[in-house]
């Protein structure tokens, strides 16, 4: 729950160009020592004045790629601004200056994520959902050309309850008493999606899930 500088640097060392956050952005106090790193993006619709940034623009193969991070407001227990209006404001600023726009919408409700997909269809290159830890099977390219999936899933231990040890997690559900979560061990898997984007017109041609 949260990210440390050590983990962030490890992810970047593996080749990541950007790291997006979510409802656990402030889970580790360490975050404040690197929140302004150019490759770290927190939800853009946190209240105005909060440290960090909600989007970043990166260059790859001569193209300018914008990465936007948004957080949902349905059943997620985070006080945030309207993500739809925030998306509009950001796109108005950057859409003329970038070639590709990728959105990570960190939200609990599938309906809210699907609504965002339709709302931004044709205005962003790709939109993927995160947060629920379960990969959905609805990957597709929407009518106006935006690649979409409701949730890309998680990376972590197979024998777990969204990454946490089964025994400790079950105790919470059975007793309603607080129980410290413990990260599960054992064999791990990796979920994600790949967007194949045409380098000439910057349109997504294919989207497919990965599960290793």
Catalytic residues, which ones?
24
What is the residue whose two structure tokens read 């939800």?
43
Cα separation, 144 vs 1, in Å, equals 36
What is the residue whose two structure tokens read 């939200």?
107
CB-based contact 208:192 (threshold 8 Å): no
Cα separation, 82 vs 43, in Å, equals 11
CB-based contact 31:25 (threshold 8 Å): yes
Task: Convert 28-54 into a string of H (helix), E (strand) and C (coil).
Answer: CHHHHHCCCCCCEECCCCCCCCCCCCC
């Amino acid at each position: 729950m949260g990210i440390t500088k050590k983990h962030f640097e490890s992810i970047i060392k593996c080749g990541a160009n950007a790291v997006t956050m979510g409802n656990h952005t402030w889970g580790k106090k360490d975050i404040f020592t690197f929140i302004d790193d150019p490759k770290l993006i927190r939800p853009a619709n946190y209240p105005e004045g909060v440290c960090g940034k909600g989007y970043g623009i990166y260059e790859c193969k001569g193209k300018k790629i914008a990465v936007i991070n948004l957080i949902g407001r349905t059943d997620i227990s985070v006080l945030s601004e309207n993500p739809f209006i925030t998306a509009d404001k950001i796109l108005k600023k950057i859409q003329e200056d970038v070639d590709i726009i990728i959105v990570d919408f960190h939200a609990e409700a599938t309906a809210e994520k699907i609504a965002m997909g339709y709302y931004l269809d044709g205005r962003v290159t790709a939109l993927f959902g995160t947060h629920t830890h379960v990969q959905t099977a609805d990957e597709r390219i929407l009518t106006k050309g935006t690649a979409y999936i409701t949730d890309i899933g998680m990376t972590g231990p197979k024998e777990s309850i969204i990454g946490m040890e089964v025994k400790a997690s079950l105790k919470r559900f059975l007793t309603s008493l607080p129980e410290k979560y413990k990260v599960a061990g054992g064999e791990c898997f990796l979920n994600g999606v790949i967007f194949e984007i045409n380098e000439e017109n910057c349109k997504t041609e294919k989207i497919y899930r990965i599960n290793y």
